[in-house]
Structure 1
């Protein structure tokens, strides 16, 4: 999901520079002037962006702390923090101003003294929500950490690997699963070309789409009854691209005497959703 920037229009010169630098650093930024079109409902659009944003960068200045509109955006962000119990609001100070009470105990990026260090702090803090190649999937009873890597094998064919670790809040064990995808010559060549143009993420998202099409009619929910690694394998095609898919899964930790079900299809679908959301940043130049 995008990063929302809350600011006063009087600070637009600073914010334009910050937003462009964030886009250059591969972050997905939502800016009102970039996203709103003639006739759009200003309130509805901003409310939707505030609700769906993974982070809200609050630009603190003499102008913004006096702005009623900025106060409303800050209040909405802080309310989300209370409800979701996670950091949503990230303050950035650009001039000497009175810091709002509820932000005073937060670490902030101080652009007054060292703009480069401040930007690096923002960049690092946003990395966890702007990296399309790894993440955490939160569920009510458990969460899943995942990442994807890729490399050529001994024959030069590209191998893509998604790794998932399911942690239950009350489970005495974890579930480790991997989805290994071996590309044929045409797909390997296309992936290498995409990598040279920094477009490999879109290629791998398309691979995931090809894989998850199978699950529309054949969900992949597998039982685990012991410590031994299990696997399922099949092949898939996308035009001239062919993929050999091998999925392995196993349980690690304490045996509680009960069977476990691993939802491999759901993990892959959610990883695909994450990649799509992160990489949906418009390519237009702002």
Structure 2
């Protein structure tokens, strides 16, 4: 879900600067001048963007606090924050002005004298709704926390998803780790993305292969004791020679209730995929050119 920036067009220069820096940090940003095309219904597109956003940055200046349009955008954002309790509404001060009464109690980012310091405040505030590498999944029986990490081992690349499920109804916690080990061909492909400054796209490609595999195959384990249960599989493409070895390991910890526990790993992967897609930004035109060039190149290049 994007980060919506509400502002007066008189502040367009600093807003574009802020938005560009957020994009560099892989935030999915919605700015009207970037998104609207000739013939678009401005009102409908803006309403849809606010409804779908996960954060609303309110750029405060002398002009914006007097703008009726900005007031409407802010009102819509605050209503969502009150209703859903997860939408971030963050004031961003770009010049001395009278802060609206209902925003005075909120933490704000100050770009007036130190842009970089203010930018980091923005990044800190929106991290929970823009970080595609970790998150929390809310479920009826409790929360599921997860994170993704990666690295190289003996020259081969790997991804790992760590998932912790702590049900409210059980006196125990379930730990699942999913490893994706790339062979040499798959590692070389990832390095192509990495060398082009698109490492996040390279990881997304590997993760999507895992998610597809999890959707087509029923990944479930039954935990009947404290020892980890393991599932192994291989995702291979004979045409390219690329392969991912997948290892899923689940275990239960805490107070034993004497019952077997079913862990649906496929369901975890489905929810993580939905979350990652919702917060990840789209590649810009320059990045798309690089991506198409990589796709057209040999996997062993």
Count of matched residue pairs: 284
Paired position in structure 2 for 1:47: 47
Equivalent in the alignment of 2:38 = 38
SS at match of 1:5: strand
Structure 1: distance between partners of 2:195 and 2:126: 25
Give the whole-Å Cα distance in 2 for the aligned partners of 1:211 and 1:24: 26
Q: TM-score, normalised by structure 2?
A: 0.86
Structure 2: runs of 5+ lacking an equivalent: 287-301
Cα shift at 1:22: 1.7
**Within 5 A, what are the aligned runs for 1:1-286?**
1-154=1-154, 156-238=155-237, 239-284=240-285
Task: Measure, in 2, the Cα distance between the counterparts of 1:272 and 1:158.
Answer: 20
SS at match of 2:285: coil
Change beyond 3 A, Cα 1:169–1:95 = farther
Flag the 1:217–1:159 CA change in 2: closer, same or farther, 3 A: closer
Shift of 1:87: 4.8
**CA displacement at 1:247 relative to structure 2:** 0.3
Gaps of 5+ in 1: none
After superposition, the Cα gap between the structure-2 partners of 1:213 and 1:118, relative to the gap in structure 1 and judged at 3 Å, is closer
The verdict on how the C-alpha distance between 1:34 and 1:267 changes in structure 2, with shifts beyond 3 A counting, is: same
Which one is further off, 120-129 or 173-182?
120-129
Whole-Å Cα distance in 2 between the matches of residues 60 and 104 of structure 1?
12
The 1:194–1:97 alpha-carbon spacing in structure 2 relative to 1, beyond 3 Å, is same
Deviations along 1:155-210, whole A, 9 cap, x unmatched? x2222211111122444222110111121110112223322323232222222322
Distance in 1, matches of 2:133 and 2:65, equals 37
- On the 8 A contact 2:215/2:266 being kept in 1, the answer is no
- The range that moved more, 84-93 or 220-229, is 220-229
Deviations 1:218-267 (A, max 9, x none): 33233323222101111111342111111000112222334332221122
Q: In 1, distance between residues paired with 2:281 and 2:99?
A: 34
Give the 3 Å change call, closer, same or farther, for CA 47–152 of structure 1 in structure 2: same
Contact persistence 2:93–2:112 (CA under 8 A): yes
Cα separation, partners in 2 of 1:171 and 1:42, compared to 1, 3 Å = farther
CA contact (8 A) 2:54 2:87 kept: no
Instruction: Assess, with a 3 A threshold, how the Cα gap between structure 1 residues 216 and 111 changes in structure 2: closer, same or farther.
Output: closer
CA distance in 2, matches of 1:250, 1:18: 44
Q: Deviations over 1:59-92 (max 9, x none)?
A: 1122112212111111111111111223510111
- Tell me, in whole angstroms, the C-alpha distance in 2 between the residues paired with 1:31 and 1:128: 20
Does the CA contact (< 8 Å) of 2:133 and 2:276 recur in 1?
yes
Counterpart CA distance in 1 for 2:110 and 2:133 is 29
The whole-number CA distance in structure 2 between the counterparts of 1:276 and 1:64 is: 32
Distance change (3 Å), C-alpha of 1:142 and 1:105: same
Deviation of the 1:132 alpha carbon: 2.3
Partner of 2:257, secondary structure, is: coil
